[in-house]
Amino acid sequence: MKRTLIATIVAAIILFVWQFMSQAALDLHKAEHQYTPHQDTILSVLASAGLKTGKYAIPLADPSLGAEAQMKCAADNVGKPSAVINYTTSSKNDMGMNILRGLLVNILIMYLFISLLSKANITGFKTILSVSLTVGLIGFFNHAYTNYIWYHGTDIFMDLLDALLGWGFVGLWLGKYLK
């Protein structure tokens, strides 16, 4: 049990440190949060539109009009501007709680991953490393790449790098520690 706890905590910290390096220290994801000098105007227009907190893909047809209207709207807007807006009516800056939640989620992820390795009797440095990279790629393809297919974000290669490096570092540690 002690060995599993140590493996879980250290692997979670490794993943957390990579996430911090990628998102903050190295700012590899800056393409996903670029500055615009028009931010005050844009936010003012969004606020005056009465939007609720949520994520909006624009343009879309009114969903109550059915699938045919959606298809027509999509066809009519080929080659025109589009946007995905992640709008919040009230901004919060709770860095401490966000960091704590991120670390706790990583601990849970690593506990589940190490439990999977144990239950499947996966041993050996190379095997643990390859399974770790596989899990990272599954996460990347399931979320980041699937969203990219539909919404063409600007950061897909950095997301792939995060999956490979974050889970690669975890696999290196766990492969050495658990073999």
**pLDDT by residue (tens digit) across 27-84?**
888 888 889 999 999 999 999 999 899 999 888 888 888 888 888 888 999 999 988 8
Task: Reduce the DSSP state of residue 86 to 3 states and report it.
Answer: strand
Query: Per-residue confidence at 158, pLDDT binned at 50, 70, 90?
Result: very high
3-state secondary structure of 114: helix
Token representation of residue 74: 């999509």
Tokens representing residue 165 in the block? 């490096």
Nearest to 61 by CA among 49, 53, 71, 51: 71
The pTM for the full model equals 0.83
pLDDT of 95-114, one tens digit each? 899 999 999 999 999 999 99
